[in-house]
C-alpha cells in the first residue's frame, strides 16, 4: 500500500468559530446573507450528490465529459508530478486525471471534511501503489500552505465552485493561489458559462424540489449547531438570474413576518414577510472574462475546452514568470 498522510491546518474549533462569525455578520447585514459552504453537512452533501444527477443540473455531466476527453492533454501539457485538488470531497472526478497523470508522485486533496478526506485518501492509496497521498484538512479560501512535494504542480479547482466567490473574493483567492506556486505550475479551473436564463434557473430550481431542500438545509445546520429555531417550512426557495452581474442567486424568502432566535450567537432576528436571505451566488463566465481574471492574478490561459454543447469550460493556465 502506498503511503497516506493526513495533516490538519485548521484549528479544531475553526469551523464552529467561522459558522458563528458568518451567522452573526450575515444575519445582521442588509440584505441578509449566508455563505454557501454551510449547506454541506452530511445531509447537505447527500442532497448535493442527488442534485448532480438531476436532469436539470448539467454542470457535473458537462465537466465530466470534458475531463474524460481532455485529461490526457491536461497531463501532457502540465507534466505534473504533484496534483493538488481544492475542495476534493470524494475525489471521484479526479480519478480521470489520476489515470492520465502517469508520472504523478503525490496527490494532495484539500477539504474541510476530515471524514471525506480519510475515506477517499485511504482508498486511493490502497488502489494506486506508488502514489503518495497527502490530504490536507484546510479551508482553501483563507490561508493555505501546501506540503513539500515534487514539481511541477497542477492545481485542480473543479465543479464551477470558483463562481461561488464574489469578484473581489475571486481576485484575492487567485492571487493567494499564485503565491503558493512556482513558474511553470498549472491551474485547471472549472467554470460554468453564461447561457439562456431558463436553462440556468431550472438548474437551481429543479422540479423535484431537491435544490429547495438543499437550500433550506443551511437553516437546519444553524438550528443544530447554534440552537436556533428556524422553521424551514416558513421559507420559500428562490433562484433568480442577475443579468447585469451574470450570476444566479439562491435565496430563502420569508413566507410571513417572523422572529428567529439564535442563542449560539445571542441574536434575535426579525424577518418581514417577503424578506429574502441570500444563501449563494453562482457566477457564470465568458472566456475573455476568465482570461482577464487569471491574468490579473499571474496566470496565463493556455488551453480552453468546453463540452459539446458549450455549457461548461475547463481551462488550463500556466503560472507566469513575471521575474
For the full predicted model, state whether its pTM sits above 0.75.
Answer: yes
More confident residue, 152 or 96: 152
Asked if residues 294 and 178 have their Cβ atoms less than 8 Å apart, the reply is no
State residue 61's pLDDT score.
96
pLDDT value at 203 more than 80: yes
Q: For residue range 292-308, list pLDDT tens digits in order.
A: 999 999 999 999 999 99
pLDDT value at 109 more than 60: yes
Assign domain 1-225+285-323 to a CATH class.
Answer: alpha beta
Cα Rg, the chain, nearest whole Å = 20
* Torsion angle of the four alpha carbons 75, 76, 77, 82, in this order, in degrees rounded to the nearest 10: 40
Q: For residue range 17-47, list pLDDT tens digits in order.
A: 999 999 999 999 999 999 998 998 889 888 9
CA distance 205 to 133: 37
CA distance 299 to 291: 9
Length reported for the chain? 323
Q: For the residues 246-257, what does the mean pLDDT come to?
A: 98
Q: For residue range 62-98, list pLDDT tens digits in order.
A: 999 999 999 999 999 999 999 999 988 777 788 889 9
State residue 2's pLDDT score.
54
Q: Is the dihedral of CA 282, 285, 289, 294 positive or negative?
A: positive
Phi, psi (5° rounding) for residue 53?
-100, -5
Q: For the residues 104-128, what does the mean pLDDT come to?
A: 87
Asked if residues 86 and 140 have their Cβ atoms less than 8 Å apart, the reply is yes
CA distance 308 to 192: 14
CA distance 255 to 234: 5
Q: For the residues 225-249, what does the mean pLDDT come to?
A: 98
Q: Is the dihedral of CA 117, 190, 280, 25 positive or negative?
A: positive
User: pLDDT-derived band of residue 323, with 50, 70 and 90 as boundaries?
Assistant: low
Asked if residues 66 and 305 have their Cβ atoms less than 8 Å apart, the reply is yes
User: pLDDT-derived band of residue 1, with 50, 70 and 90 as boundaries?
Assistant: very low
CA distance 183 to 77: 14
pLDDT value at 270 more than 80: yes
Contacts of 212 (CB under 8 A, 6+ apart): 205, 237
pLDDT value at 164 more than 80: yes
Phi, psi (5° rounding) for residue 48?
-65, -40
State residue 201's pLDDT score.
98
pLDDT value at 15 more than 90: no
Average pLDDT across the chain, whole number: 94
Q: For the residues 192-206, what does the mean pLDDT come to?
A: 97
State residue 26's pLDDT score.
97
Cell match 508522485: residue?
A: 105
User: pLDDT-derived band of residue 100, with 50, 70 and 90 as boundaries?
Assistant: very high
Q: DSSP label at 163?
A: G
Amino acid at each position: 500500500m502506498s503511503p497516506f498522510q493526513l495533516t490538519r491546518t485548521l484549528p479544531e474549533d475553526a469551523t464552529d468559530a467561522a459558522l458563528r462569525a458568518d451567522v452573526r455578520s450575515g444575519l445582521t447585514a442588509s440584505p441578509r446573507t449566508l455563505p454557501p459552504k454551510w449547506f454541506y453537512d452530511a445531509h447537505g452533501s447527500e442532497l448535493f450528490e442527488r442534485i448532480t444527477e438531476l436532469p436539470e443540473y448539467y454542470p457535473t455531466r458537462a465537466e465530466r465529459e470534458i475531463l474524460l476527453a481532455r485529461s490526457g492533454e491536461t497531463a501532457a501539457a502540465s507534466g505534473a508530478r504533484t496534483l493538488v485538488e481544492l475542495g476534493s470531497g470524494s475525489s471521484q472526478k479526479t480519478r480521470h486525471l489520476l489515470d492520465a497523470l502517469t508520472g504523478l508522485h503525490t496527490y494532495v486533496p484539500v477539504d474541510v471534511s476530515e471524514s471525506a478526506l480519510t475515506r477517499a485518501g485511504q482508498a486511493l492509496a490502497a488502489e494506486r501503489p506508488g502514489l503518495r497521498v497527502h490530504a490536507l484538512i484546510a479551508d482553501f479560501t483563507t490561508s493555505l500552505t501546501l506540503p513539500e512535494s515534487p514539481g511541477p504542480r497542477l492545481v485542480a479547482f473543479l465543479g464551477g465552485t470558483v463562481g461561488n466567490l464574489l469578484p473581489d473574493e475571486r481576485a484575492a483567492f487567485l492571487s493567494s493561489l499564485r503565491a503558493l506556486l512556482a513558474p511553470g505550475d498549472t491551474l485547471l479551473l472549472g467554470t460554468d458559462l453564461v447561457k439562456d436564463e431558463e436553462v440556468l434557473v431550472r438548474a437551481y430550481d429543479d422540479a423535484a424540489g431537491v435544490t429547495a431542500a438543499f437550500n433550506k438545509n443551511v437553516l437546519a445546520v444553524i438550528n443544530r449547531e447554534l440552537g436556533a429555531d428556524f422553521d424551514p417550512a416558513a421559507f420559500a426557495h428562490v433562484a433568480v438570474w442577475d443579468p447585469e452581474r451574470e450570476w444566479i442567486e439562491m435565496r430563502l424568502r420569508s413566507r410571513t413576518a417572523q422572529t428567529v432566535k439564535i442563542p449560539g450567537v445571542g441574536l434575535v432576528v426579525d424577518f418581514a414577510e417577503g424578506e429574502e436571505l441570500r444563501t449563494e451566488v453562482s457566477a457564470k463566465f465568458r472566456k475573455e472574462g476568465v482570461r482577464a481574471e487569471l491574468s490579473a492574478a499571474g496566470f496565463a490561459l493556455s488551453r480552453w475546452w468546453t463540452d459539446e454543447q458549450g455549457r461548461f469550460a475547463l481551462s488550463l493556465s500556466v503560472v507566469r514568470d513575471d521575474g
